Chain A
């Protein structure tokens, strides 16, 4: 089962399947669950949920219903605007997203070249 993100008082949705990890790099495409888990490791559950909820609302989205890279990118941008250590965590998530996108693009190009 894919990871699930749930927040008190908000709808609980199953995250859509994410692509398999990048071959060789074993890197998963970051999801909302990963971002919330990162905040949790630094701030604990309550402060993480508060920060994520604020960022989601600033991005016009609902916590627990952030799907796909473009939406996640919007929330991470809002998270960064909170400043302090929260902005540092946001930069971490952004780097993981950019690395995944860059290496996935490279893998696609290489696969195309081998056809």
Chain B
């Protein structure tokens, strides 16, 4: 059986070494999230760090009053972003209400998430740290160009994150 990368000790060590668990929100990552939301025309964007049992929010753009902004994360079993940690590829959900893995996800049933697109943040050491993603409250389709925008911004986010390791 292939081990689940979510529980890979070396990946979790890498997340710690890159100082991704800081309680301070990184303004640069906030800016990347804001640009992703703006360019894809969606209300919410996250720089997520997928831990073993939870998703940690390292950067976020979204409306005031979201509980996610207070908790700075949620249980990993609700996470759309965990898929990319396992596949190392983009993950797109155009209609969460009918998606086989997410139709009963509390973020969908309770909080109204309807669409999602995310690309993995992969460190130079090859570990998937989390995702850059956008989230919307209405179903929509995503083009290859949309995913390309996210990939470009994800590369920028990883460069910023890794610059801190050198610093």
Contact = CB atoms under 8 A, between A and B. Distances in A.
Contacts of A25: 106, 110
A88 B110 contact: no
Interface stretch (B29-37, B72-80, B142-150, B155-163): B72-80
A81 B90 CA distance: 34
A89 B52 contact: yes
A99 B71 contact: yes
Contacts of A88: 12-13, 15-16, 21, 51-52
Interface residues of A, number: 24
A38 B53 contact: yes
Interface in B33-86: 51-56, 67, 70-76
Interface in A81-115: 83-85, 87-89, 91-93, 95-96, 98-99, 102-103, 106
Given A95-B71, A102-B70, A87 B106 contact: no
Contacts of B76: 92
Interface residues of B, number: 25
Contacts, number: 77
A84 B72 contact: no
A27 interface: yes
A102 B109 CA distance: 17
A58 to B, nearest CB: 18
A89 B110 contact: no
A87 B53 contact: no
22 contacts: A24-B109, A25-B110, A38-B52, A42-B52, A84-B13, A84-B16, A88-B13, A88-B15, A88-B16, A88-B51, A89-B51, A89-B52, A91-B21, A95-B56, A95-B75, A96-B53, A96-B54, A98-B71, A98-B72, A99-B54, A99-B71, A99-B75
Given A93-B53, A95-B54, A96-B54, 5 more contacts: A24-B109, A38-B52, A92-B52, A96-B75, A99-B54
